[in-house]
Amino acid sequence: MAATASTKQAERNVHIIVAAGSGSRYGGNLPKQFCQLNGRPLLMTTLERIHRHTPGWELTVVLSCDMTVEWQDMCREYGFSLPHSIVTGGPTRAHSVRNAIESLAVESCGLISVHDAARPVVSSSLIRNLLDGLNGADGVIPACQVTDSIRITAPDGSSRAVDRKLYRSVQTPQIFPAAKLSEAYRQELRPEFTDDASVMEAAGFCNLRLTAGDPHNIKVTNPGDMAVAELYLSLSDTL
């Protein structure tokens, strides 16, 4: 069942799929978002699943300049015809998202979601929870409780334990009112901006709500994660 927003929105809503990263931690000749997942590039699964859950939303994919032609070749090779626009990424994730926002006619957009291409197991229930949780806030963010013990380190190599109940592991997609996200991304972008919520906070948009994340919504980072993603996708009818 496709998710719908519970609040009145402008006609256009847009998913920005960030796929411009180098995937250096993954290794191999291709960035991870183009590596094989169930016999085709991972990015195709991410796009298809998020479109299935929100069929009325537009898709904008951010690619590095050296992967744009290769991606178009992949689409032809695999017969991938899902409509999407392509934007060239920047030197950091934040710059890539800014480029995508600047490519949109933001004044005609209601909501913008930003999603990592390397999270192919995004579920309908997660998106539905995000849309229901927005409800007038500056943004809504999926987050999971931390189950591992956590320690904070110091420059001298020492460390100390911290209370894991105070921490959450943040996921994507993150959803924001388009006008507010666009305004936030006009500020000077800093290295500590690792997600869109941090950009919003720095711009003064601090009414950011957390909603329960999905432990199956993993980010493929290492080769072993691909097998886990394939397993979760095989169970997707029950997720």
More reliable by pLDDT, 196 or 236: 196
Tokens of residue 49, six digits: 């699943």
Q: What CA–CA distance (Å, rounded) separates 112 from 16?
A: 7
Whether residue 6 is contained in a domain is answered as no
Whether residue 152 is contained in a domain is answered as yes
Q: Is the pLDDT of residue 45 over 60?
A: yes
- Strands (DSSP E) contained in the chain are 12-19, 36-37, 40-41, 58-63, 85-88, 109-116, 139-145, 150-153, 159-162, 168-170, 174-177, 208-212
Whether residue 1 is contained in a domain is answered as no
Whether residue 184 is contained in a domain is answered as yes
pLDDT in tens, 84-103: 999 999 999 999 999 999 99
pLDDT in tens, 109-144: 999 999 999 999 999 999 999 999 999 999 999 999
Strands 58-63 and 159-162: unpaired
Range of the domain at 69: 12-238
| Alpha helix stretches (DSSP H) within 13-116 | 42-53, 68-78, 93-102
Whether residue 3 is contained in a domain is answered as no
User: How much is the pLDDT for 9?
Assistant: 44
CATH number at residue 114: 3.90.550.10
Whether residue 4 is contained in a domain is answered as no
Whether residue 85 is contained in a domain is answered as yes
Domain count across the chain: 1
Q: How confident is the model at residue 23 (pLDDT cuts 50, 70, 90)?
A: low
Q: How confident is the model at residue 24 (pLDDT cuts 50, 70, 90)?
A: low
Neighbours of 160 (CB within 10 A): 8
Q: What's the mean pLDDT in 193-204?
A: 98
Whether residue 180 is contained in a domain is answered as yes
CA distances from 26 to 133, 170, 204, 221 (A): 33, 20, 35, 6
173 preceded by cis ω (within 30°)?
A: yes
Q: Which residues pair with 21 in a beta bridge?
A: none
pTM of the model: 0.91
Sequence length of the chain is: 239
